[in-house]
Amino acid sequence: MASKRTANRNVPKELRDLQKFLQREGYTLAIPFDDIRLPGYIGTFKDDGQELIVDNGTCLSSVRQNKPGKVAVGNYSRMSRFSIKSFLNIFGNVLGIDLGLVKAKSVSITFPSPLLQTRYITEMDVEEALETMKSACKKRLLDPNNFVILQALETKSLEYRFQLGSSATADAKAHLNEKLAAAAKVGDVNVNIDWKSDTSLSIIVNSPLTIGYKTARSGLRTVSPQELIEMRKAKAVSP
């Protein structure tokens, strides 16, 4: 289970189909999609429902990560379409580019690549780590408003399809292409731009992005050495 706020977070209507798809696999939707949510990270939710990472894996750096038993959840084929205002409220931008450059009217996102499971840690791993953890880290883990990421769900590419409010000039196209190329170079990602018409373009970002994650329960308790022995025995004989 995650924190108290997880179940009550506000998910935009444009992403509710994706949310349901992920929930069937046991994952919480990540908003926005980026590369800062990995196994062992500790996070919380802001009042608007967006995640805030409070520890980037330092507290649980000694915990061994396991290879996923199933590497692909599958393809999510539905397209999510946003008004430009809604998109900016959720994602802010694409590679730091001001979308006003192209006077976009709407944005759609789709996933060209399968959704892949990352390595994972277990809830028992987290409980065992508490025994030797520094007090500051233990406080973060035991905070009922925080959660621990056990496993993330990634995509290797994300496609943004823009519908413009008016035809883009040759200068506007060149300017956007230049901005995206510069942003991709800084972020060390591969970006493909396809102008389908003067009023429509597609940007495919080829970089690992977190779409969802599984979490440990909040309020983890410290366990005694004897309890740890019993849990290990139970884990060893479990099917």
Query: ∠85-86-90 over CA atoms, to 5°?
Result: 120
Give residue-wise pLDDT tens across range 107-148: 899 999 889 999 999 988 888 888 889 999 999 988 888 889
Q: Which amino acid is at 215?
A: T
185-208: pLDDT as tens digits? 776 788 888 999 999 999 898 988
- Write the DSSP assignment of 187-232 as a string of letters: HT-EEEEEEEETTEEEEEEES-EEEEEEEEPSSPPP--HHHHHHHH
Q: What is the rounded distance in angstroms from the CA atom of residue 37 to the CA atom of residue 151?
A: 9
List C-alpha distances in Å: 123 to 49, 126, 179, 182.
24, 5, 43, 41
Which residue, 89, 217, 103, is CA-closest to 168? 103
User: pTM of the full predicted structure?
Assistant: 0.76
pLDDT in tens, 32-43: 888 888 999 998
For the chain, what are the domain ranges?
1-74+114-155+208-239, 77-110+157-206
What is the tens place of the pLDDT at every residue in 218-239? 555 544 556 556 665 665 665 4
